[in-house]
């Protein structure tokens, strides 16, 4: 399966996915990396000889134009899947029309708890003892799409946002690579609310 990855930040999830795709037999390849700002994700793409592109919101007249431009450039790579790995923009209606049902996002909390841009900080502030990582399909809401995989991470008494986020990211990196491989191999069955990756055939 071919994958376009969208990222906005340090790109450590992107990098671990790129590493996974270079393992023998991994069933998906990253064909392009898209960013919405200058960020380290582009350097990871270069290091792996993967093309990259930038579609910055500020360079367009409005959000609708930005949405169309992002949709067109991603579509040009004809990906089977789109992975949002720390992409800090909400995808627009044109993008959802084109790629809905095959966009995978990773969120650093156990959804539906603590959606939004500060999932780690909000979980800490609430005082939960367990949080974690969620890999889910993107729908038109914010972190509301059908869940594909989840794993818990224990909150330690001395955690701050940085230490907790880093432990969650260790889980996110593995869960994302496993989920992309599973979806690439076996697909997704979804009724709109729930999504399941069918069991491996034996």
Chain centre distance of CA 178: 13
CA dist 197 and 186 (Å) reads 6
Q: Is 16 or 71 the residue whose CB approaches ligand GRF more closely?
A: 16
Active-site residue, 118 included: no
Helices (H), the chain: 12-21, 41-47, 63-76, 93-99, 119-126, 161-186
Cβ-proximal residue to ligand GRF, closest one:
86
Least separation in angstroms between residue 75's CB and ligand GRF is 23
Q: Is 96 annotated as a binding residue?
A: no
Q: Is 98 or 107 the residue whose CB approaches ligand GRF more closely?
A: 107
Q: Is 64 or 90 the residue whose CB approaches ligand GRF more closely?
A: 90
CA dist 169 and 121 (Å) reads 14
Least separation in angstroms between residue 109's CB and ligand GRF is 9
Contact residues toward ligand GRF (CB under 6 A) are 9-14, 85-86, 106-108, 169, 172
Neighbours of 112 (CB within 10 A): 11
Q: Is 89 or 107 the residue whose CB approaches ligand GRF more closely?
A: 107
CA dist 91 and 93 (Å) reads 7
Least separation in angstroms between residue 199's CB and ligand GRF is 26
Measure CA of the first residue to CA of the last residue in the chain; give whole Å: 21
Q: Contact, 146 vs 190, CB < 8 A?
A: yes
Least separation in angstroms between residue 49's CB and ligand GRF is 19
Q: Is 63 annotated as a binding residue?
A: yes
Q: Which residues are annotated as a binding site?
A: 63, 88-91, 105
Which residues participate in catalysis according to the annotation? 107
Q: Which residues are annotated as a binding site for (6R)-10-formyltetrahydrofolate?
A: 63, 88-91, 105
């Amino acid at each position: 399966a071919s994958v376009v990855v969208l990222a906005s930040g340090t790109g450590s999830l992107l990098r671990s996915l790129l590493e996974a795709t270079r393992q023998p037999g991994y069933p998906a390849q990253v064909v392009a990396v898209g960013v919405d700002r200058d960020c380290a994700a582009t350097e990871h793409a270069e290091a792996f000889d993967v093309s990259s592109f930038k579609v910055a919101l500020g360079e367009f007249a409005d959000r609708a134009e930005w949405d169309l431009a992002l949709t067109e450039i991603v579509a040009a790579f004809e990906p089977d899947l789109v992975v949002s790995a720390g992409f800090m923009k909400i995808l627009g209606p044109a993008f959802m029309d084109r790629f809905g049902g095959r966009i995978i996002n990773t969120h650093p909390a156990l959804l539906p708890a603590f959606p939004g841009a500060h999932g780690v900080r909000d979980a800490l502030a609430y005082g939960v003892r367990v949080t974690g990582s969620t890999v889910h399909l993107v729908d038109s809401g914010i972190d509301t799409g059908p869940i594909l995989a989840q794993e818990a991470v224990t909150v330690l008494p001395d955690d701050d946002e940085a230490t907790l986020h880093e432990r969650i990211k260790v889980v996110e990196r593995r869960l994302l690579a496993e989920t992309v491989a599973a979806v690439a191999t076996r697909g997704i069955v979804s009724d709109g609310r729930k999504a399941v990756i069918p069991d491996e055939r034996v």
